[in-house]
Chain A
Amino acid sequence: MALLETEGLTKDFGGLRAVQDLALRVDEGEIVGLIGPNGSGKTTLFNLITGLHPATAGRIRFDDGRRELVGLAPHRITALGIARTFQNQRLFNHMTVLENVLVGLHCRTRSGIASILLGTRRSLEERRRAEARAGGLLSLFGDRLLPRASRPAWTLSYANRRRLEIARALAAEPRLLLLDEPAAGMNPTETRELMRDIKRIRERGVTILVIEHDMGVVRGICDRVAALDHGTKIAEGSFEEVRRSPAVLEAYLGRQAGRA
């Protein structure tokens, strides 16, 4: 089943075409890798899917073609079941680790403002449930985040901030998780741990589309890989197929290498 499918997706920034006529399919339960040189349109694609940028043309369908995402506000798309992390970490730095995840739980909590202000039993119960769930998400990363739950997010180490971004994204109960360079800046040990964590998240029933430059990570976790260059898809298939594709070699290494 195609959880996500784009068709003819195009995005122009003024005179620059960042994404061109892109067709991409992600099936339920897959981990799909998205590779390509800097500026090839990978993050722009994430911004289009999550509604941060309006698409210039084309369609983005979710849930086996049942929902059209183009034109929806970001929070509606989150509510439908798509969450993401950012390349340049965007945590709420002045909130605690736990609160960051609680914000992510937002679209799943029901209490209205009046009941929150009045502190009704239902809203208190909901709050306790939310805190328990947030704690559960933090414990996904072993003892990396949970013991630091009440510290401000800015005090976390780099790797822990990346983990917290993932925990926060998972709070929205996504069916599709978009990870933007999750391994960037991690050391080899942390990277291995991350690969294990990402696989575990898939086992929870979350489909994953991941942008990654570390080819070891892409090889290690992705069922399929799509390569972008100048906003178009230049290759798709297994990691090995894509790696051997002349178009990909050319995009990364230049024309000569592509021919050789």
Chain B
Amino acid sequence: MADVLAILPQQLVFGLALGTVYGLVALGYTMVYGILFMINFAHGEIFMIGAYVGWWVLALLLQAQAGALHPAWVLPLMLLPAMLFTGALGVGLERFAYRPLYLRGATRLGPLISAIGASIFLQNAVMLTQGARMKVYMTSLLFPRDWRIQIAGASVSALVIVMVAVAGLMMWGLHLLVQRTTLGRSIRAVAEDREMAAIMGVNVRRVIALTFFMGSALGGAGGVLVGLYYTQIDFFMGYSAGLKAFTAAVLGGIGNIRGAMLGGLILGLVESLAVTFMNPAYKDVVAFVLLILVLVIRPTGLLGESVAARAKV
């Protein structure tokens, strides 16, 4: 037991790092659901493609022998193209895979099935163009292994600090954007009553497209961070990560932005605690049991409110 307690702080640090990234990816699910009441099951693949774009940037920089790689400029250089590419990909998915369905008044099942199709398509597209073998992130060239500090008995690497900081900053930025700007107000208006927002002069299609862009870009950023953290990526990584992030979104209350962040954090911490106290093989079991328990007690998730309540007040 003593040695379990000794590694606990370390595990909590891992949990925090993983949790913020889960939260980042969960935002993509929750934003799209909040505005379209649809689960974008291709979001996991968006995340995976973000990881690939980041890998390519790093690989190109290494190939160009751009001298000493310092994360202060390399990381933004990886994140920016990854976010732009995945953001554009999200907009493309909405435009060609989902919009034709919801515009023609398909049931909510239509876009959902289309999303599963898009997910399979993207997985295979990446497998065919990038190969089925995993690619290795040269993380140690960017974040040397000895860049770490001791906090309360835990050894915290620079990468973990950067992950938490980047994910945290992005969430904070999104929060400000949604709460303080005209665009954010439009997003909230469309989420609450799309038809009414349209009458008020909000360009609903543009708001939906921008929501996809932002959600997907955050997912892409999450892909880069996870790629750096686990150092191995493959075309199938979006499946389990997407499932986890989706779980985080539901746990926090799908459609609720703060809920996604909270759900991600809780999920990351619970998983790392499960690894500490139990057989690591039960990690996912614990995560999903937690989800089931929360949904039994609070079917709308931790911060979510029921659709009925939203319609009533």
Contact = CB atoms under 8 A, between A and B. Distances in A.
Interface string B188-218: 1100110111111111100000100000000
Nearest to A76: B201
Interface stretch (B48-56, B177-185, B223-231, B279-287): B177-185
Contacts of A84: 199
Interface in B251-308: none
A90 B201 contact: no
Contact of B313 (A93, A106, A116): A93
Given A113-B183, A154-B313, A172 B188 contact: no
B20 interface: no
B187 to A, nearest CB: 11
A117 B180 CA distance: 10
A75 interface: yes
Interface string A95-132: 10001001110111101010011000001000100000
Contacts of B204: 75
B40 interface: no
Contact of A103 (B186, B195, B203): B186
A141 interface: no
A171 to B, nearest CB: 8
B313 A95 contact: no
A79 interface: yes
A111 B210 CA distance: 16
B182 A116 contact: yes
Contacts of A232: none
Given A99-B185, A113-B210, A106 B193 contact: no
A257 interface: no
A106 B200 contact: yes
B178 to A, nearest CB: 11
Contacts of A117: 177, 181, 183
B199 A52 contact: yes
Contacts of A106: 182, 186, 200-202
Given A90-B193, A94-B192, A103 B202 contact: yes
Nearest to B173: A117
A74 interface: yes
Nearest to A113: B183
Contacts of B203: 75
B201 A172 contact: yes
A92 B188 contact: yes
A103 B185 contact: yes
A6 interface: no
A10 interface: no
A103 B197 contact: yes
A95 B196 CA distance: 13
Nearest to B197: A103
Contact of A95 (B182, B185, B201): B185
Contacts of A127: 182
Contacts of A172: 200-201
Nearest to A153: B313
B199 A93 contact: no
A197 to B, nearest CB: 21
Contacts of A93: 192, 310, 313
B188 A52 contact: no
B37 to A, nearest CB: 16
Determine which residue in A99, A103, A109 has the highest number of CB atoms from chain B within 10 A of its CB, and name it: A103
B188 A75 contact: no
Nearest to A90: B196
A43 to B, nearest CB: 14
Contacts of B192: 92-95
B185 A78 contact: no
A207 interface: no
B202 A75 contact: yes
A69 B177 CA distance: 35
A69 to B, nearest CB: 13
A59 interface: no
A119 B186 CA distance: 17
A123 B181 CA distance: 10
A75 B185 contact: no
Given A92-B188, A94-B192, A103 B198 contact: no
Interface of B: 177, 181-183, 185-186, 188-189, 192-193, 195-204, 210, 310, 313
27 contacts: A50-B199, A52-B195, A52-B199, A74-B195, A75-B202, A79-B201, A92-B192, A92-B196, A93-B313, A94-B188, A95-B188, A95-B189, A99-B188, A103-B189, A103-B197, A104-B200, A106-B182, A106-B201, A106-B202, A107-B201, A109-B182, A113-B210, A116-B181, A116-B183, A117-B181, A123-B182, A168-B200
Given A75-B202, A78-B200, A113-B183, 4 more contacts: A95-B189, A103-B202, A113-B210, A117-B183
- Per CB-CB distance, the 10 closest pairs between chain A and chain B, nearest first, are A107-B201, A106-B201, A154-B313, A74-B199, A75-B201, A78-B201, A90-B196, A103-B189, A92-B192, A74-B198
